[in-house]
Chains A and B, each alone.
Chain A
Amino acid sequence: MMGQVVKLDKTADAARAAEQARLAAANDASIPTPRPRRNLAWTPARIGVYAFLIAAALFFLLPLYVMLVTSVKPMEEIRLGTLFALPRHFTLEPWAQAWSSACTGLECNGIKGGFWNSVAIVVPSTILSIAIGAVNGYALSFWRPRGAGLLFAVLMMGAFIPVQAMIYPLVRVLASVNLFSSLPGIILIHTIFGMPVMTLLFRNYYAALPLELFKAARIDGGGFWRIFLQLMLPMSTPVIVVAVIMQVTGIWNDFLLGLVFAGSEHLPMTVELNNIINTTTGERLYNVNMAATILTSIVPLALYFISGRWFVRGIASGAVKG
């Protein structure tokens, strides 16, 4: 009804048609009458809201602007100290340098090594932690083994103890099984630390599904893995998307665990970025540093842009609600 009225509004005899529609609607009480058009006048309250939103947006976008502008300026322009000015001689040289030849300590191979290290850490860690979290959540919601409540409580405790408190014991444990300073070691660490939140996320998602679905599958003869793989997993797309976003951004942005557990061969991009910025040979190359920083943040940024809607939904639906 609404859509019809709005469409007719644009035609020449809009008023008449709208009036007819309204009359028809009034005659039939079951059809809701069209909502009166929203008042779009610039009231002081509305101006205030927009002023606040614009100010907030500017405030948060300003650093990004400075980073972008600085990264495409040659050093001569940067030395002038005009932080907000647009570049006069546009150059992509700092980006190339940041990617392939910026120096971290003694080596000058740029940040690309760190990028590929991060990819090598993020991909398996994300897949593993989601797989384990999904199975955990499924088992806790549907199979309810003896002591499931206790298990879940212990798992949740893991989510709330600060990571820093566990680092030293974990170093000792990993060293004793020869996984310290290795790629499998850091992947294992990320998988373990991702498990509580992933379990919570999937448990809550599965808890919202009707239990009768599971019962029907049990009568059909489905076992633990068949029900999970053929019934539950195909229904889990929304929550998997959310989990991927949470894990990829979380693990990509990790600095501390990567620094401690990855070892010098597999340092993630965040650690490499820090090394580049802290390595100075005479002059501080602000443009290269800015380019390296943007390169490092591109993966989570892209993910947010592609799937911001899903991300918010996931936080609202699973991770916060206990």
Chain B
Amino acid sequence: MSNVAIRNLQIQLGGNKVIESLNLDVKAGEFVVLLGPSGCGKSTLLHSIAGLIDTSAGQIEIGGKDMTWADPKDRGIALVFQSYALYPTMNVEANMSFGLRINGTPKAEIARRVSRASDMLQLGPLLKRKPANLSGGQRQRVAIGRAIVREADVMLFDEPLSNLDAKLRTELRRELKQLHKQLGATMIYVTHDQVEAMTLAQRMAVMKGGVVQQFDTPDVIYNMPANLFVATFLGSPGMNLFKGEVEQQGSRAIFKNEHLSVDVSGYPFKAPLTGKHACVLGVRPEDIDVGHGDGVGQAVRASVSLIEAMGAHRVVWLDFHGTQVAGIVQDQQQIETEKEISFSIRGNRISLFDGASEQRL
């Protein structure tokens, strides 16, 4: 088990600064997910940890040793690629043992490690097959097996599940989580799929434009996003946003715009407010209470524009003075489109962002 520490990392690709002064500390044995839209530099970061991309400045430490300029094979890492990258001329067994054969591991040891990995991933019957004769899920299992066989301290995953269909993805996701428990290795996992990130990560780093926006547990990131980007990137449907002003009135804090007034006295402000402040109020769809608002102080009315049935719950889209507000309805109440309905905001899990800097207040 090794920790990974990245200090002031800078990466240039073809003259463009993809990553500028990035810091990240991954603890030994931790499962960390790098999440972000495509082109945010998450794969670049992963490949630079693997030593496949040269850094232009900064430091990468693995297991307490400076590995910034070390050869990929000397870093004690294993990498699983999105495209599997299996050697097409070798069978499954040879694919997994290639690295071990190169560094001259004794045959008995190679056999032991390959059989252990193939047991873990149920690859036993496939050992003599060529990659061309495997299905997508089997190929990705072999690619993961190749990483396991290296018995590396740090395992890196570059969107390993995005080429698979939805059912296989959930299956392999669970296996990966299981694997992390079994191996105890440090794992860094890149994905643009928020469900994968939320379910796998112990901590996740949300990235945008080569900058880590927030690095925390999935729970904190979901409930207390650090800025507007993180807030809108996570969650489906996305967070509902209301522009307005927040004002301190004696002991109470009130969010206000022309149609809405919410008491935010209980909100944990980072810095105490003085006077009026332009801001954005963010509310998750599950914190929009649809239909039970009548009689509650803050309830407002809106017309239902669309209902999406999800099986376990319904997503109700409300037209609130021209903005679409999504609410999640768990109960069986009667809701019809084109009809007026009241909704209120559950005030305990809201987020407030500065109107200009878009940072959490």
Q: Which residues of A contact B (CB under 8 A)?
A: 210, 212-213, 215-222, 226, 230-231, 234-235
Contacts and interface: CB of A to CB of B under 8 A. Distances in A.
A212 B81 contact: yes
A222 B102 contact: yes
A221 B89 contact: no
A234 B52 contact: no
A219 B89 contact: no
B102 A221 contact: yes
Contact of A218 (B52, B89, B150): B52
B50 A219 contact: yes
B155 to A, nearest CB: 11
The SS class assigned to the A binding surface is helix
Interchain residue pairs A-B with the least CB separation, the first 5 = A220-B99, A221-B73, A212-B85, A234-B89, A216-B85
B252 to A, nearest CB: 57
A219 to B, nearest CB: 5
Contacts of A210: 83, 85
A221 B85 contact: no
A230 B94 CA distance: 11
Given A218-B73, A221-B103, A231 B52 contact: no
A212 B83 CA distance: 8
Interface string B65-88: 000000011000111011101111
Contacts of B87: 213, 216-217, 231
A130 B81 CA distance: 32
A68 to B, nearest CB: 44
B243 to A, nearest CB: 44
Given A210-B85, A226-B102, A231-B87, A215 B73 contact: no
A218 B72 contact: yes
B98 interface: yes
Contacts of A226: 102
Contacts, number: 55
Contact of A231 (B72, B73, B89): B89
23 contacts: A210-B83, A212-B85, A213-B87, A215-B50, A215-B52, A215-B79, A216-B86, A218-B73, A219-B52, A219-B73, A219-B77, A219-B78, A219-B99, A220-B102, A221-B72, A221-B102, A222-B98, A222-B102, A230-B98, A231-B87, A231-B89, A234-B89, A235-B89
Contact of B99 (A213, A221, A234): A221
Interface in B312-327: none
Contacts of A230: 98
B29 to A, nearest CB: 21
A228 to B, nearest CB: 13
A52 B43 CA distance: 57
B81 A220 contact: no
Nearest to B152: A219
A230 B99 CA distance: 12
B88 A235 contact: yes
Given A220-B73, A221-B73, A215 B85 contact: yes
Given A215-B81, A226-B102, 12 more contacts: A210-B83, A215-B85, A219-B51, A219-B52, A219-B72, A219-B79, A220-B98, A220-B102, A221-B73, A221-B99, A230-B98, A231-B89
Nearest to B156: A219
A49 B103 CA distance: 62
A167 to B, nearest CB: 42
Contacts of B150: 220
